Amino acid sequence: MLGALRRNAASRGSSASALRKSLHAIRPGVSASGVSSDAGKEILLLQPRGITHVRNFSPLVLPGCSVGLTKTRNVISSIQSETIMQKSCRAFSSGDGDLVDAVVPFMGESISDGTLATFLKKPGDRVAADEPIAQIETDKVTIDVTSPQDGVLQEYVAKEGDTVEPGNRIAVISKSAEGVAPAASAEKKSEKAASKPSPPTETVKEDKPKAKVETSPSVEKPRALSPPPPKRTATEPILPPKERERRVPMTRLRKRVATRLKDSQNTFAMLTTFNEVDMTNLMKLRSDYKDAFVEKHGVKLGFMSGFVKAAVSALQHQPIVNAVIDGDDIIYRDYIDISIAVGTPKGLVVPVVRDADKMNFAEIEKTINSLAKKATDGTISIDEMAGGSFTISNGGVYGSLLSTPIINPPQSAILGMHSIVSRPMVVGGNVVPRPMMYIALTYDHRLIDGREAVFFLRRIKDVVEDPRRLLLDV
């Protein structure tokens, strides 16, 4: 009995020592101080460097031990979860925390991706927090990608023309200039190497073959006769060479505009009616009060506010023009949101003047100026262009004399303004020169009959020619 106990104790000691040797063999830096030869205790490895190797021993049960390694697995799982949590908290930084990523921002609920149009900064430039470094072009607006923190733009990880989605990395920003210094020095070295003259040995080698060529006898080769140019038939057109043509991809905004306008032609039964407006009284009103208007409201009095007020009055008199077809139903809108077509270098955008029926002349002019400036600068948002129940397009600013505008879906009509031209008109039996403007109304003939369309355009003519009608509501 006593001999059996000695052999059991010896076997426990040998197993513990064998385990220590195995741990040292796998990871020399791992200390085995946590391994106990006591049968009543469990095997624990307290050093974090040995955690990955403890798994190899977790199913091992020493001879004579009946206790498992549950606590070891708990320690490992807790440390692993802490590591994962630390990594997830640094999703946009590098290992040392000096680098941060500039990512594509949220572009709107109806926009899933965009095209990286242009870079506003170069690698090595210093940027401030929230400063735009790139622009993304979408179907509707241009969105800026801003720097998340102050620092130096280290590199771009995307190229111009790439399709990007919200959350994609665009650039890497270094909080300090250390990450950019090596790249800058390398560029300087390459420039210096390129500026150095070539060694003289190369010139000597080049001179030798020239001398051989001079001494070699010249042999004249018979000139090959070039074939005569093909004769063109009288009916074959002469096309310009391909070298004089350029092919460039369409921008997203241009493709979107083209699609919507073509869909409008395919959907609506469009018809256009015309009229002409005598601008004498509206121009006199503007001339008489323009200085007082600017002094009080801080904005110039233009013609657009007069036409917006006239359109509001016409829509109130003919509410069917403010309605729209939706399937088998007609939706009557009890609000008046006027869309103003604005031409920008990148394409046509249509910002909306909300609740135009509740605005005065000054509020309309301020809103139009603000929206037009944002559209030209490319900073207009999607919300400022969404909706709208009626559109006004002023082609007169470009010198258009007459046109047939296309309906902006899902609206049912659009008013076209044109240039003011002095023409002879009969007034009181006499022919006198008058500043005249042609106006056009394109409408959906499925919903709006010719009678309502003519009355609508006539109402605009009456209000513009005599703005006092707005005060008297007649």
Confidence class for position 111, pLDDT limits 50, 70, 90? confident
Give me the pLDDT at residue 279, please: 96
**44-71 pLDDT per residue, tens:** 444 434 444 444 444 444 444 444 444 4
Q: Given phi > 0 = left and psi -120 to 50 = alpha, else beta, which region is 327?
A: left
Could you identify the residue written with the tokens 């270098």? Answer: 345
> 85-99, 116-130, 366-380, 452-466: lowest mean pLDDT where?
85-99
Neighbouring residues of 413: CB distance < 8 A, sequence distance ≥ 6: 321, 390, 391, 407, 441, 442, 443, 444, 448, 453, 456
**Active site includes 445?**
yes
**11-34 pLDDT per residue, tens:** 555 544 544 544 444 444 444 444
Give the 3-state secondary structure of residue 326: strand
pLDDT mean over 393-413:
94
Of the candidates 113, 357, 445, 462, the residue annotated as catalytic is 445
**Active site includes 24?**
no
Q: What is the CATH number of domain 268-471?
A: 3.30.559.10
The counts of H helices and E strands in the chain are 11, 19
| Location of each CATH 3.30.559.10 domain in the chain | 268-471
**340-391 pLDDT per residue, tens:** 999 888 788 899 999 999 999 999 999 999 999 998 888 888 889 888 999 9
From the candidate CATH numbers 2.40.160.20, 3.40.50.150, 3.40.190.10, 2.40.50.100, the one assigned to the domain spanning 111-174: 2.40.50.100
**Global pTM?**
0.60
Separation between Cα atoms, residue 466 and residue 459, nearest integer Å: 11
Residue 326: strand pairing partners:
329
Give me the pLDDT at residue 231, please: 60
pLDDT mean over 452-473:
94
Give me the pLDDT at residue 26, please: 45
Separation between Cα atoms, residue 354 and residue 371, nearest integer Å: 11
Separation between Cα atoms, residue 338 and residue 48, nearest integer Å: 67
pLDDT mean over 160-166:
88
Separation between Cα atoms, residue 379 and residue 20, nearest integer Å: 68
Query: Given a cut of 90, is residue 243 above it in pLDDT?
Result: no
Give me the pLDDT at residue 222, please: 55
Q: How far is CA 200 from CA 204, 206, 208, in A?
A: 7, 10, 13
Residue 173: strand pairing partners:
100, 153
> 67-81, 250-264, 329-343, 444-458: lowest mean pLDDT where?
67-81
Count Cβ atoms below 10 Å from residue 158 Cβ, excluding itself: 18
Percent of the chain past pLDDT 90, that is, above it, reads: 41
pLDDT mean over 158-168:
89
Separation between Cα atoms, residue 125 and residue 123, nearest integer Å: 6
Among 140, 141, 139, 127, smallest CA distance to 170 is for: 127
Which tops the pLDDT comparison, 178 or 208? Answer: 178
| Location of each CATH 2.40.50.100 domain in the chain | 111-174
Percent of the chain past pLDDT 70, that is, above it, reads: 67
* Measured torsion, CA atoms of residues 106, 110, 114, 118, in degrees rounded to the nearest 10: -70
